[in-house]
Copies of this chain bind each other. A is one copy, B any other.
């Protein structure tokens, strides 16, 4: 069955923090991507298999930071697929620690051919599209 969402669980590591004593904002962006790749694995896919002719660079990212995350906090990234077009995928994310919303985000990735450079948008392979679908709440 196609996959439209995933709940990715993670713990804050020491190297994710900065001198303000909280998770550095760039790590929040990485958590969104880790959740996206976990959604792909849950769909039986890898976002970059060793021999893939395509890759999926981000073209847009937007995050609102609501509350700080601390060292060793356990949290969840709920990622939903909110848009699927021939050449791109859009995700919405909510990061929570228990009942506290830490951040919300959206991210759009586009399918590009790996060579020749510069990257050129191409159609998402059918075998990938067959395993992903838009989240019903969208």
Interface residues of A (CB under 8 A from B): 13-15, 17-22, 24-27, 29-30, 33-34, 37, 41, 46-48, 50, 55, 57-68, 70-72, 114, 117-119
Chain B proximity of A78: nearest CB distance (Å) = 18
Q: Which residues of B contact A25 (CB under 8 A)?
A: 29, 33, 57-58, 61
**11 CB-based A-B contacts, threshold 8 Å:** A14-B18, A15-B24, A18-B19, A19-B19, A20-B48, A22-B57, A26-B26, A26-B33, A48-B71, A57-B65, A57-B68
Q: Which residues of B contact A20 (CB under 8 A)?
A: 48, 55, 57, 114
Chain B proximity of A95: nearest CB distance (Å) = 13
Number of copies: 4
Q: Which residues of B contact A63 (CB under 8 A)?
A: 60-62
| Closest B residue to A15 using CB positions | B30
State in angstroms the CA–CA spacing of A69 and B25 once bound together.
21
Q: Which residues of B contact A15 (CB under 8 A)?
A: 18, 24, 26, 30, 33-34
